[in-house]
Structure 1
């Protein structure tokens, strides 16, 4: 990421290619009724994830950008929250147990949001008592680790948001998590 531009460097070809430029106005290419997509510009990227052919980026003003790597333009972009400085702190791309590709976000507005990565419709949202700093989904797509401005880490059902377990032990806020490949 440099000068509002995300580039892909090929070590084999010894050259780079611009994948996404967020300095200019971004107009989403997907147009469908009921989709909460909107144009945005000059996004300061705070978080990013890549899986298969999808890049998802979040911004310091609550933005969310979804781009297919091998397609021109940005498929979907929006501002997730209208509250100033509600940073999109974390994004993750995962396969749900059904096999469908999903995007999950964690924001300073205390909300976790789940989107379908095919048509970018919002599937669910879960609200917590503190800013959400990090969300990561288990390899099987069933659980999500939710960390934030709290000393506890919550393990919740990725579909419903129902908290299953609380992990104790931190003395301060948490900002990162990862799952073992076997899910534990």
Structure 2
């Protein structure tokens, strides 16, 4: 056996050998309206795996340990699949309308889903048969985007239009802050680990833009203590 750069070469006693490319590339889960979620290798554009959604899939998110994916779409329930077996392992119930967003906490213990019913449901991944709790007050439109910060302290919640909410998970979701603007929310992205940036995509004439915000380093006492959070 020998290895160099991106290759591992191993040989056997019967003249056989195996060559493994150690270079890894980024993968993406693509959701479409043909009821299928595809795992695509962005380096080769090959489809590595497919997952049957049975309805129009709107969004998919992979767990931090890469063992599971959560899929939401044109159905009240969400699905959780095993990445290895490609089998469905859980159904997340509780929403009353279709869903467009989901996200895993960095430690993989929580998965959140956001819906047209203007709620966010949180599930404990050790017991996904029912929601752990619900966020619903002061959400005024469909929840279209969800992200956790890299340290798990904050949940970013993008409404359909004009508003992104930041919920402090370390306060048991009792403190929050709203960022208000003009335009539809096209997505939320959190900067790479170690950074403090939050990016919000907006659309709608004449205000289509990419907004960048930086997390404040002020003390906890300076956070807004909004009474609408449960």
TM-score range, shorter chain: 0.7 to 0.9
Match for 1:47 among 53, 59, 76?
A: 59
Task: Decide whether the 8 Å contact of 1:140 with 1:183 is kept in 2.
Answer: no
Match for 1:147 among 132, 154, 158?
A: 158
- Any stretches of 5+ residues in structure 2 without a counterpart? 1-30, 198-230
Q: Which residue of structure 2 lines up, in the alignment, with residue 5 of structure 1?
A: 36
The higher radius of gyration belongs to 2
What SS does the aligned partner of 1:174 have? strand
- Any stretches of 5+ residues in structure 1 without a counterpart? 23-41
Distance 2:89 2:123 in 1: 13
Q: Which residue of structure 2 lines up, in the alignment, with residue 30 of structure 1?
A: none
Compute the RMSD of aligned alpha carbons. 2.6
CA deviation string 1:94-134 (max 9, x = no partner): 22xxx452211111101011112233142211002322121
Map 1:8-19 onto structure 2 (within 5 A).
8-9=39-40, 16-19=47-50
Change beyond 3 A, Cα 1:94–1:183: farther
Change beyond 3 A, Cα 1:5–1:173: closer
What SS does the aligned partner of 2:152 have? coil
Distance 2:61 2:176 in 1: 25
2:179 aligned with 1:167, yes or no? Answer: yes
Number of residue pairs the alignment of both structures matches: 158
Higher relative contact order (CA 8 A, sep 6+): 1
**Structure 1 or 2: more strand by fraction:** 2
Measured after TM superposition, the shift of residue 45 of structure 1 is 0.6
Change beyond 3 A, Cα 1:183–1:104: farther
Q: Taking structure 1 as the reference length, what is the TM-score of the superposition?
A: 0.72
Match for 1:130 among 128, 135, 141?
A: 141
Q: Which residue of structure 1 lines up, in the alignment, with residue 94 of structure 2?
A: 80
Map 1:59-138 onto structure 2 (within 5 A).
59-71=73-85, 73-82=87-96, 86-95=97-106, 99-120=107-128, 121-127=130-136, 128-138=139-149
Quick check: 112-121 or 2-11, which moved more? 2-11
What SS does the aligned partner of 1:135 have? strand
Task: Decide whether the 8 Å contact of 2:51 with 2:86 is kept in 1.
Answer: no
CA deviation string 1:33-81 (max 9, x = no partner): xxxxxxxxx3111111113111110011222000111135211124432
What SS does the aligned partner of 2:88 have? coil
Change beyond 3 A, Cα 1:43–1:167: same
